[in-house]
Structure 1
Amino acid sequence: MFTGSTKLPPTKTPQPERLDEVYAALRRGLQSYLQVHQLELDSLGQQIRENKRNGRLGSLYELDKQVKAIERFMRRLDFHLSKVEELYDAYCIQRRLRDGASKMVAAFNSATGSREARESLSEANKGYRECTEHMCSLESEIESQMGEFHVKMKGLAGFARLCAGDQYEVLMRYGRQRWRLRGRVEVSNKQIWDSEEYVFLPLITELLSIKVTELKSLANHVVVGSVSCEMLDLFCPLPQTLAVDINDLGTVKLNLEVTWRCCSLQHTPLIASFVCLFVTLLTLCPVFLSLFQSV
């Protein structure tokens, strides 16, 4: 997981083979999200049955609210998955049309230079360009449905390599997205960084590039190592703690925690509980309602 890899080719044309890999990982991640929330639903259902059986009715209202919140999120998630599948199906259709147009172009190029052949070649080239544009557009649409990667800095691990007073710079590049952070090692071996979290938008054709530099003085910087990392394994419903080998020997590692948020509206039980409490106060307390309206 999260191993080094070679840089992918720049995106000047559609990348159908790469999209197949990304789609498989994205679809698998969305299905895992649904499974995790289904397990949460099953657990809440068990709690509700036990509370009813034991006569503990006070918490049923809150449990029911949690169940409804999860069910709403799962419906939204299921719709999100269906939309991704629909976009991928449309992409596959355009891919087949483009392959057909490519074969026609090759056939007409090898034909005699008659007027009809030239006209047919022009139409085939036009169809090929249109399919290419549609595929690029669909790649962008699928990319917009891939959610967010929330990356937290957990520090460097270097065994005997890290010493008190050492200062480091970490630069992460992901397409046009960049996260540059600096940190130092304290006497207690605690590390202090000027930035702790960053949000990357997933990309289809890019790898995450990481470069770690030791800052010895203003004019003396030593590159500890750099690596390019695949992101496909990060489409996972649960946070993942990663240790990335920065140098060839693996003596310096970068520790990160990555949380994938599959869509903009995540299921947040604590926020839902706060809203329920707020509505209850407005309903049951006329004084509170009048104060709220006056504000």
Structure 2
Amino acid sequence: GLPARLPEIMLVGSQSFSPGGPNGIIRSQSFAGFSGLQERRSRCNSFIENPSALKKPQAKLKKMHNLGHKNNNLPKEPQPQRVEEVIRALKNGLDEYLEVHQTELDKLTAQLKDMRRNSRLGVLYDLDKQIKTIERAMRRLEFHISKVDELYEAYCIQRRLQDGASKMKQAFAASPTSRAARESLSEIGRSHREYTENMCTIEAELENLLGEFSIKMKGLAGFARLCPGDQYEIFMKYGRQRWKLKGKIEANGKQSWDGEEVVFLPLIVGFISIKVTELKGLATHLLVGSVTCETKELFAARPQVVAVDINDLGTIKLSLEITWYPFDVEDMTASSGAGNKAAALQRRMSMYSQGTPETPTLKDHSF
């Protein structure tokens, strides 16, 4: 067939973003995936953007909440090492969100101070309202961080108690058997089970504080591998959460997909597995490749465009844009209302800078 159009490869740098929800894009350095226990580096150091991907009509965001993978099923065994790694990544992400909000707050506060002498009350009101929105978001983040700290401190206490009970079990098991020793061993066993159950319960509560991952499909990049008429199926699995979508390479090199975005709830234990299959016919499916991806580095304040190597040679890559929200996506969208008005506010500020408060201009009609 005709050779596929080479995808455009570009670097996407950090951009400024509104206080309620970021829109800058940065590159994840670790989302290259790994096969089995052997982590392998991504062979693509650039971002892969596919501006030619066909946009479907915006539908209601598909969420994985209805799978009930949280609260209902406690982990059977605690995973303290993994909990420590994920909580460290979570706190780094929350601190990054706070820093971003603080930077935006400082900028708006300076603007408000400069504008008080030469601006309309309406503009000052909008700016003050935006500042208050950021301050509320920061207080919410600080409270969220305190909840994480409190739960993790309780988890560490239960972990130390469990370790102590485990060592005592070993000591009594190695000592000469007697009735008193057997009774003590039985009591220690009950305590050990209690501490273990407490750790599992706290793990589930911590998992509920991880927020949401919003994953957007950007397209496949396969260079000469992608030809017009090719059809592919992508299957993502994250714990009990699933996302399956099908796409086709069009004659003009564009890609059309039947899914655009999904929300996964982050897990403490579990990785995102991705499988790409080429659909050759009704009963003929050719496995292109599968990969398992780490999620710790996705706890970031800015969206990340990641290019995942699907096969061993790296000739097929899946491009995704992943955004982490500390809270529910809908809550974040609602709280970012004032932030989304930043551009309009800037236009109004520049509009009124052309005339003093005592000298209205014709542009006042747009106020």
Q: Which SS does the other structure have where 2:252 is aligned?
A: coil
Q: How far apart are the structure 1 equivalents of 2:129 and 2:122?
A: 13
2:258 to 194, 202, 216: 194
Cα deviation for residue 271 of structure 1 reads: 8.2
> Which segments of 5 or more consecutive residues in structure 1 lack a partner in the other structure?
274-295
CA distances 1:38-93 after superposition (whole Å, capped 9, x unpaired): 11111111221221243454311000001111111110110001000111100000
Task: Indicate yes or no: 2:177 matched with 1:148.
Answer: no
1:77 to 141, 146, 156: 141
Q: After TM superposition, list the pairs within 5 Å mapping 1:99-138 onto structure 2.
A: 99-138=163-202
Which deviates more, 50-59 or 260-269?
Answer: 50-59
Alpha-carbon contact 2:271-2:295 (below 8 Å) kept? yes
Q: After TM superposition, list the pairs within 5 Å mapping 1:45-60 onto structure 2.
A: 45-60=109-124
Q: How far apart are the structure 2 equivalents of 1:149 and 1:67?
A: 27
**Residues 6/168 of structure 1: CA separation in 2 closer, same or farther (3 Å cut):** closer
Task: Indicate yes or no: 2:39 matched with 1:3.
Answer: no
Alpha-carbon contact 1:51-1:57 (below 8 Å) kept? no
**Residues 142/152 of structure 1: CA separation in 2 closer, same or farther (3 Å cut):** same
Q: Which SS does the other structure have where 1:13 is aligned?
A: coil
Task: Indicate yes or no: 2:336 matched with 1:268.
Answer: yes
* Partner residue in 2 for 1:229: 293
Task: Indicate yes or no: 2:312 matched with 1:248.
Answer: yes
Report the AA paired with residue 106 of structure 2.
D
Cα deviation for residue 6 of structure 1 reads: 5.1
Q: How far apart are the structure 1 equivalents of 2:286 and 2:244?
A: 16
Count, aligned residues: 271
Q: TM-score when scaled to structure 2?
A: 0.72
Report the AA paired with residue 52 of structure 1.
R
Alpha-carbon contact 2:303-2:324 (below 8 Å) kept? yes
**Residues 7/76 of structure 1: CA separation in 2 closer, same or farther (3 Å cut):** farther
1:175 to 239, 246, 269: 239
Q: Which SS does the other structure have where 2:122 is aligned?
A: coil
Q: How far apart are the structure 2 equivalents of 1:17 and 1:64?
A: 45
Q: TM-score when scaled to structure 1?
A: 0.89
Alpha-carbon contact 1:241-1:256 (below 8 Å) kept? yes
Q: How far apart are the structure 1 equivalents of 2:126 and 2:311?
A: 51
Q: Which SS does the other structure have where 2:140 is aligned?
A: helix
Taking only the aligned residue pairs, the percentage that are identical comes to 60
Q: How far apart are the structure 1 equivalents of 2:272 and 2:36?
A: 9
Q: After TM superposition, list the pairs within 5 Å mapping 1:22-41 onto structure 2.
A: 22-41=86-105
Task: Indicate yes or no: 2:85 matched with 1:21.
Answer: yes
Report the AA paired with residue 20 of structure 1.
E
Cα deviation for residue 256 of structure 1 reads: 0.3
**Residues 271/24 of structure 1: CA separation in 2 closer, same or farther (3 Å cut):** closer
CA distances 1:168-204 after superposition (whole Å, capped 9, x unpaired): 0000000000000000011111111001000000001
Alpha-carbon contact 1:167-1:215 (below 8 Å) kept? yes
- Structure that is richer in helix per residue: 1
Alpha-carbon contact 1:150-1:258 (below 8 Å) kept? yes
- Structure 1 segments of 4 or more deviating over 4 A? 270-273
Alpha-carbon contact 1:66-1:272 (below 8 Å) kept? no
Q: Which SS does the other structure have where 1:104 is aligned?
A: helix
